[in-house]
Structure 1
Amino acid sequence: MASLPASAQPKPGEPKQASVERLLNVLSTDLTNPTLTPAQRTATLEHLKVHGRDPNGSGAIFTREGIDTLGKYAFDQPNSDISTSREALRCLANALLLNPDCRQIFVDLGYALKAAERFETASIDDEFLLSRILFLATFTPPVPPGLLDTTLPASLAAALDRHTTAPHMQMQEMALTETLKLLFSLGHHTASPHLLITLPPLLTLLTTITLPSPPLQGTIIHLINAPLSLPLTATTPALFPPGAEFKLVDRLIAILDAATRDPDLDDAAAPLVTLLRKLLELAPEAVVAHMQKVLLPAPEERDAPLGTSKTLPSRLLRLTAAATAPGLRDHVASLLFELSGSSPETYVENVGYGYASGLLVSRGLDGGMGSGAGVGKEKGVAREVNPVTGQWVEMEPVKADPFEGMTMEEKEREAEKMFVLFERLRKTGVVDVKNPVQQAVEEGRFEELED
């Protein structure tokens, strides 16, 4: 750090609170009677920033006067050294993070609109700071009046566009993350169509950025969240552009494919599935058919019970029955239901009643198990399927007769055991059914053996 001016030098044994007040007083005085050099202003703000990282003893920073002083150095000094302005932005970012009351003060003083104006010419370093400050200022509604009537939406689009070609170094990644968080906050609280200008560069980033492993971490999460906050419609041109209608959904499906290979996948994947559901709702018929082909079980998977292979559709089916991550489980089940045209019967045909029953019961729907015929056709001939497992009936293993090889006496003893067990169960009141052994005897399906 550069040397502090003499008036800002701390005294030996001085409490932190007194030192903070001294630094702010020096800065405030310099605004009306400039005597500090640019280096001294920057050094004073640096010391204040260090103190402001801990709210204890930093109360003077969080007052209206403190925020106003920092705001003036950040936005109102046209001849100020850029390093001085940036240090003031860092102090503000810390204050708004540590003390939520400062956010409304910042807005009331008009600095949110000035931050939006400053964004228009922001460097990567400034983008990081301004995005964080504006995110904190808009974290709790209402969004400052007039904020989206400024150049901010266009500035956000320009910043995202810059990230499509900028090398993804640490500072760029940090700035991009903060900008995406700001975009999500603005969209979530306003659903303003002004923000749709950010969609083309946003989707370019989403479809071209290198995926980490596992994929759902860092910037990717924010790239997925941001479109969810925008007022998308079926006519939004960037979603399904001519000649590249499948590009966005294919990228999201690739991310989903990679993510579902993680056995510990949790609810953090829910926004990805939610975005796919949103696109399915808006997509043209060709894209819908493409998503159905890729995400629903193919006929060849019915050679075994559905959900037992290593394909993406099988992994999705297993997620719908997973005991963990209930949020993700419900979203995946809803996606498969909507891919089935939101028809309970079609849903059962596509995934089998075993996987479909959970969602149908939770929604009070009756999909039934149907006849089990006609789910797939080969050479014009309908093939029968097991309605519970979804497997071709002809491919099911032949079950051995459990009574094969028994003598009649042994069969009778097994029937007696079954009779006793059902009688005990019936007496508990848990079930109210007729004993199947007794029913079989009454119907003449058992023969009495001769002594």
Structure 2
Amino acid sequence: MASAGSTEKSRDIEKILNQLEADLAEPPPAHDGLLERLRSHITRPIGLGPLSTKRGISVLLRYAFDSASSTSNRSARRCLSNVLLLVPASRQHLADSEYVGHVVNAMKSEDLMDQLISARILFLCTFVTTFDFEALFEEHHISGIINTTLSRYSEFIGTGPSSSRHGPSSIMAACDEVLKLLYTLIAKHPSSEPLFSSSVTPVLKLFTSFSLASPPLQPPISSLINALSILPLPKQSDNASGFTDLFPESDSHIIVDRLDNILLSTIESSTPSDLDAQISPLIQSLLRIAEVAPANLKTHLQSQLLPSSEDREKVLGTGDSLPMRLLRLTNVPSAPHLMELIPALLFELSDKDPRKLVQNIGYGYAAGYLASQSIKLPEDALSSASDRSRITELPEGEDELEGDIPVNPITGQRLDREAKVEIPEMTDEEKEREAERLFVLFERLRATGVVDVENPVAQAAREGRLEEKA
């Protein structure tokens, strides 16, 4: 049952809408006062029935894009944006109208508020509608407009606030809306990804130019990271100019260092329920960079994200460094995307070599990922991991080890740091039960396909190394 307040609100909206519709002309006249009064009503979904109909959206569209008054059309666009946000069912009326092209063209405006509102309207219409994405790209050329718009933002930031016609806060707000639209278009229409290659360099420039808040994952940084996680990064083999822009010779570490810092800060501040949503874009961005990074940058990524010799003082995953925190996140059931993305990133940093992955993070963390990807582990992987590991930084005073330290292949901990465990002498019956248990466990492991070696218990029995009781 509607309250008296919502009924009165609906009546006033109907009255305003009737007057706006009655005054429609070519072009519609200025109605700044009426439109502002209407906008004051659009704060909650209750009572918006008259505006959310095909008729209501049509009237708003006429004033938003056909009015000769710049103040009236901007007020109407704000009304339209708010209705689309509060009443999702109204979005299909715009998606079916002939005004989609008008909304796209409004993004070409030099005014940041026009760009912001237009991008927000398009963004909202990509949800809960049967939106014609093909027309958006082929007829209205939305990708080129977004590429150009982001390039302008990066130029504004590059010249500094004092020499720009717009304050940085205005650029940040408009940039955030355009980036959200870009991400959604690629996510919902994957074939469009190559069309946004020109946005890579501006996105990276903006990402390294905007200051970080606390916590750092706030607009537009969060939207820049989302865009970076889905944009087509240039490969070195492409010999594209975008590649040198992405990894300049002078300082190729600034991007990944900022990502790493944000990642660590976000892990420390996130709740278990937020981990997947907040951290996955960061890991995805690092993975995409690792896939195309030149040797020097990949080495830097390895030093930042793979366990160091200091980490191996303990069982891997028990420390507080960034690599140790990442390993722990692979075992968080509430973050299923991270359980896939983090091992994929570490596998990429291990040159996609299962032997190196085991050496880098231990078999305990590597086994699940290798099994899920149907990647078989070489027969000597565990033994070679116990002999040598990828450790390039030695603790102070240990130069004599010359960079290679034996580690436990399962836990990744240095063998010389493992606690000595006193194992009580076993009776013959206990030894027999333990041999049977190991036999069963090893056969189950072989069945996964991760390892392909002969069961050592069966081998010992065949070679006569097991004694039968009399």
Provide the TM-score with structure 2 as the length reference: 0.75
Cα separation, 1, equivalents of 2:149 and 2:270: 40
CA contact (8 A) 1:131 1:182 kept: yes
The Cα shift of 1:270 comes to 0.6
SS in 2 for 1:399: coil
Structure 2 unmatched ranges of 5 or more: 162-166, 392-399, 445-454
1:352 to 352, 362, 366: 362
Cα separation, 2, equivalents of 1:321 and 1:34: 61
CA contact (8 A) 1:215 1:259 kept: yes
1:255 to 262, 270, 290: 262
User: Could you say which residue in structure 1 is the equivalent of 2:114?
Assistant: 126
Aligned pairs for 1:87-98 (under 5 A) are: 87-98=75-86
Q: Give the AA of the match of 1:23.
A: I
1:267 to 252, 273, 276: 276
Change (3 A) 1:122 1:25: farther
User: Could you say which residue in structure 2 is the equivalent of 1:191?
Assistant: 192
The Cα shift of 1:396 comes to 2.5
CA contact (8 A) 2:28 2:63 kept: no
Which range moves more in the overlay, 249-258 or 377-386? 377-386
CA contact (8 A) 1:160 1:198 kept: no
User: Could you say which residue in structure 1 is the equivalent of 2:314?
Assistant: 304
| Counterpart check, 1:59 vs 2:49 | yes
Q: Give the AA of the match of 1:20.
A: I
The Cα shift of 1:331 comes to 1.1
Change (3 A) 1:181 1:424: closer
Name the larger-Rg structure: 1
User: Could you say which residue in structure 1 is the equivalent of 2:449?
Assistant: none
Which range moves more in the overlay, 330-339 or 222-231? 222-231
SS in 2 for 1:386: coil
CA contact (8 A) 1:61 1:95 kept: yes
Cα separation, 1, equivalents of 2:268 and 2:157: 29
| Counterpart check, 1:327 vs 2:317 | no
Structure 1 unmatched ranges of 5 or more: 1-11, 404-413, 447-451
Which range moves more in the overlay, 338-347 or 122-131? 122-131
| Counterpart check, 1:243 vs 2:265 | no
**How many residues in Structure 1 have an aligned counterpart in Structure 2?**
416
The Cα shift of 1:133 comes to 0.9
SS in 2 for 1:370: helix
Which range moves more in the overlay, 144-153 or 234-243? 144-153
Cα separation, 2, equivalents of 1:95 and 1:13: 15
User: Could you say which residue in structure 1 is the equivalent of 2:389?
Assistant: 375
User: Could you say which residue in structure 1 is the equivalent of 2:164?
Assistant: none
User: Could you say which residue in structure 1 is the equivalent of 2:229?
Assistant: 228
Cα separation, 1, equivalents of 2:140 and 2:388: 57
User: Could you say which residue in structure 2 is the equivalent of 1:443?
Assistant: 467
1:155 to 149, 169, 173: 149
The Cα shift of 1:205 comes to 2.0
User: Could you say which residue in structure 2 is the equivalent of 1:216?
Assistant: 217
Cα separation, 1, equivalents of 2:148 and 2:285: 24
Cα separation, 1, equivalents of 2:270 and 2:102: 47
Identity of aligned residues (%): 34
Alpha-carbon displacement from aligned partner over 1:417-437 (angstroms, at most 9, x marks no partner):
8489879999xx9x999x9xx
CA contact (8 A) 1:292 1:339 kept: yes
Cα separation, 1, equivalents of 2:198 and 2:466: 77
User: Could you say which residue in structure 1 is the equivalent of 2:351?
Assistant: 341
Cα separation, 2, equivalents of 1:382 and 1:423: 33
User: Could you say which residue in structure 1 is the equivalent of 2:413?
Assistant: 391
Cα separation, 2, equivalents of 1:376 and 1:101: 56
Aligned pairs for 1:63-82 (under 5 A) are: 63-78=53-68, 80=69, 82=70
The Cα shift of 1:74 comes to 1.6
SS in 2 for 1:261: helix
Q: Give the AA of the match of 1:254.
A: N
Which range moves more in the overlay, 171-180 or 243-252? 171-180
Cα separation, 1, equivalents of 2:291 and 2:220: 25
The Cα shift of 1:93 comes to 0.6
SS in 1 for 2:387: coil
Cα separation, 1, equivalents of 2:410 and 2:116: 53
Cα separation, 1, equivalents of 2:196 and 2:124: 18
Aligned pairs for 1:10-49 (under 5 A) are: 16-32=9-25, 38=30, 41-49=31-39
The Cα shift of 1:107 comes to 4.1
Which range moves more in the overlay, 247-256 or 335-344? 247-256
User: Could you say which residue in structure 2 is the equivalent of 1:176?
Assistant: 175
CA contact (8 A) 1:303 1:392 kept: yes
Change (3 A) 1:65 1:341: same
Which range moves more in the overlay, 190-199 or 41-50? 190-199
Cα separation, 1, equivalents of 2:310 and 2:6: 79
SS in 2 for 1:232: coil
RMSD: 4.0
Q: Give the AA of the match of 1:157.
A: S
Cα separation, 2, equivalents of 1:381 and 1:74: 68
Cα separation, 1, equivalents of 2:362 and 2:62: 65
Cα separation, 1, equivalents of 2:63 and 2:86: 20
Change (3 A) 1:51 1:323: closer
Q: Give the AA of the match of 1:283.
A: A
Cα separation, 1, equivalents of 2:365 and 2:307: 12
CA contact (8 A) 1:191 1:229 kept: no
Alpha-carbon displacement from aligned partner over 1:201-254 (angstroms, at most 9, x marks no partner):
321221232223333344322110112332333143332233232222222122
Q: Give the AA of the match of 1:70.
A: L
Cα separation, 2, equivalents of 1:244 and 1:221: 23
Cα separation, 1, equivalents of 2:28 and 2:357: 75
User: Could you say which residue in structure 2 is the equivalent of 1:203?
Assistant: 204
